Structure 1
Amino acid sequence: MDRTKVLWFSVHICVLLVAGLDPAFGGIRSFSGKVDESFSIPGKTGYKVEEFIENVLTGGLTTIFLPVVYTVVFVIGLPANAMALWVFCFRMKTKHPALIYMACLALADLLFAVWLPLKIAYHINGNNWIYGENLCKVLVGFFFGNMYCSILFITCLSVQRYWVVVNPMSQTKKNNSIALGVSAAVWLVIALSTIPLYLFDQTVYVTNLNITTCHDVLPDAILANNMFGYFVSLAIGVFFFPCVLTIFVYKAIINTLTASLTEDNISEKRKRAIHLIIVVLVMYVICFTPSNVILVVHYALIRSGSTSDVYALYITVLCLSSLSSCIDPFIYYFVSEEFRDHVKNTFLCRSVRTVESMQASYKSFKYSRKSSSTKTSSQQTSQTTC
């Protein structure tokens, strides 16, 4: 009983620390704005934010750190995923389920990276959105859609890797049809799950800063309540369950490879599997878990009206979640040996025909050496017999 109380107290303290609750700070600190009654421009509503949010929106965190991170993601993620998608579509002739999932993941990252220049310009411009309401909605939709798209396609890829390890002789054509159907279902789920982000205005004019924010300030508490239910549903259905499934699958892969001690290349397969698991775990630890946890905590605190200072942490972890676009190419690298070869040949400016010619020459050379070795061995045996 005492241990239970200690455990419960420890968990409670951890939750308070994560949520940033501190009775010493008075008032509600969130990104929920209040209507500015003194604002009198016809057809437009102005909102006031508290001093804490003013400092965040004008400080170095949002105007320097965030655009730097997004610039890194854009500079690395756009060419890396564009090249990966090109390799998947035009260089790799043998289609298989892993390729389908990786191509969809690369496409999602590429669509996300295309919109990043607007996000970068927004933060550099002092968090002032000048591109209109519709573009803001598109940016927000692609931002959250990319994160959950990455989670689902990584889960699909993990399950497919387990299936290959357990059943290596499965029918590729049938599995390709299943992979196409699953991919279509994932795109549909993501499209439907981001619809609520398009149903209300994402831009808010902040009168005390004379800026128009994009998704950074909510106009009222009622909207915050709706957003809480929305993000809780996403965190449970599109993050938590896929995360548990991914962990279970990779544990099963390691157990299966460890048990297959009769295979000659078991150590290499196990090494690649461990590298892949490390990359995926890094993505969950840095990109997916903090953003989903803080999203729920943040909106829960807004909904309850509690004292909260998690706004800065909230936008920071959302920014870090975009790093998944830079990490995904490493997943392709560890999953597919064919992808590694095609990337290397691409950098060496080798065409598909040249690569096929080199592979044919190598196989021919290898076969001739093997035949020569067999012939020499046969002659030696014949001479010995005589």
Structure 2
Amino acid sequence: MGLPANAMALWVFLFRVKKKHPSSIYMANLALADLLFVIWVPLKIAYHFNNNDWIYGEGLCKVLVAFFYGNMYCSILFITCISVQRYWAVVHPLTQLQKDNCVAIALSVTIWIVVWVITVPLYLYEQEVRVTNVNIVTCHDVTRPSQNKMAAGYFLTMGTLGFFVPSLVCVVSYVLMLKALQKNISDPTIGKKRKKAIVLIITVLVMFIVCFTPSNIMLIVHYSLLLSGAKDNLYGFYITTLCLASLNSCIDPFVYYFISEDFRNHIKNTFLCRSERTVEQMRVSFSALKYSKKSNTYTSSSGNTRSTEC
């Protein structure tokens, strides 16, 4: 589900959206992050079907782990950017900052660099561990005692800075957005903005509650127990929460669909096989028809417009 959905989303953002804006830039990067994660999922599936016996080598194991956590924190950061951008678009619609693509591009590049840097430690210690009593080679499921402190310190830091801080930023953005909309509730255009804002908030909150919160809390609990030397019997819950974290690559396209009317229109036109030229002709024709009706005339340019559909 994640592969075709994110591939189509990325294609729409790159080739169908002619007028780029900050939201589309953030969403294109989010789709790319999901796509880079999804292409490695078959290895993870094969690993678990093979009774948690990793047969693909240390290098691929490290790549799989790095892309998994890289995707999770990339998604969190880009969703945070989308949330802040929507806040600026609603509360400060006339400011240049919320329309500046240069800021969005610079921030996106920074996020990719930061995520690449923070995943480097995952390549520095062995992810493969042989469990002799069951004769399997695990990938990331078992940590060597000599590496407990490094792994625990890394994931405790990531759980705090990579999840809780962005979550707080999202919540603050949504609260301020709703307060601003509440002040101007008498404005007829505010009703539509308020509805879109609420849909976005619900979608993102569901994603955080279902995908990101359980996995990050479990990471903190798991590595806290590992650091303290206490017995950890939470492996089943740990794996379940990591599976839930993978769902974000399937839910993200719904974020694009609900918050971007352009995205919905491009998806519809793509399925109807309408070219950009045809869509523009239809738009001009429709505008001319509305104008003629307002002018109490009955002429329309739609008769000269041909649409190309499958």
- TM bin, normalised by shorter chain, reads over 0.9
What secondary structure is seen at the aligned counterpart in 2 of 1:226? helix
Alignment-derived partner of residue 264 in structure 1: 188
In the alignment, the residues of structure 2 paired with residue 224 and residue 370 of structure 1 have an alpha-carbon distance, to the nearest angstrom, of: 73
What amino acid is the match of 1:158? S
1: CA distance between counterparts of 2:266 and 2:189? 22
Give the drift of 1:310. 1.4
Q: In 2 relative to 1, CA 369–174 (structure 1 residues): closer, same or farther, beyond 3 Å?
A: closer
User: What are the ranges of 5 or more consecutive residues in structure 1 without an aligned counterpart?
Assistant: 1-75, 375-386
Higher Cα Rg, which structure: 1
Q: Give the aligned length.
A: 298
Unaligned runs of 5+ in 2: 299-310
Question: Are 2:64 and 1:122 equivalent residues in the alignment?
Answer: no
Instruction: Find out whether 1:158 has 2:83 as its counterpart.
Output: yes
* Higher RCO (CA < 8 A, seq sep 6+): 1
Is 1:228 the counterpart of 2:143? The answer is no
CA distance in 2, matches of 1:332, 1:159: 15
Please report how far the alpha carbon of residue 261 of structure 1 lies from its aligned counterpart in structure 2 after TM superposition. 2.5
SS, match of residue 168 in structure 1: coil
**Percent of matched pairs sharing the same residue:** 58
Match of 1:190 among 115, 120, 124: 115
Distance in 2 (CA, whole Å) between partners of 1:199 and 1:272 is 44
- Within 5 Å, give how 1:28-177 maps onto structure 2: 76-171=1-96, 175-177=100-102
Contact 1:158 1:250 in 2 (8 A): yes
Alignment of 1:192-271 (within 5 A): 192-220=117-145, 222-271=146-195
SS at match of 1:209: coil
Give the AA of the match of 2:7: A
Structure 1 consecutive aligned stretches of length 4 or more whose deviation exceeds 6 Å: none
Aligned equivalent of 2:209, options 264, 270, 285: 285
Cα contact 1:96–1:172 (8 A) shared by 2: no
Which residue of 253, 273, 280 maps to 1:349? 273
Q: Secondary structure at the match of 1:213?
A: strand
**Secondary structure of residue in 2 paired with 1:265:** helix
Match of 2:104 in 1: 179
How far 1:92 moved relative to its partner?
Answer: 0.7
- Indicate the larger mover: 120-129 or 304-313: 304-313
CA distance in 2 between partners of 1:186 and 1:313 (Å):
30
Specify the SS of the correspondent of 1:271: helix
| Cα-to-partner distance string for 1:90-127 (whole Å, 9 max, x where unaligned) | 00111110011000000000000011111111111111
> Distance between the aligned counterparts of 1:86 and 1:174, measured in 2?
22
CA distance in 2: counterparts of 1:144 and 1:205, whole angstroms: 22
What RMSD in Å do the two structures reach over aligned CA positions? 1.5
- Give the 3-state SS of the residue equivalent to 1:204 in structure 2: strand
User: What is the DSSP-based 3-state SS (H/G/I as helix, E as strand, rest coil) of the residue aligned with 1:205?
Assistant: strand
Q: Who is 1:316 aligned against?
A: 240
Specify the code of the residue in structure 1 equivalent to 2:224: A
- Give the drift of 1:146: 0.4
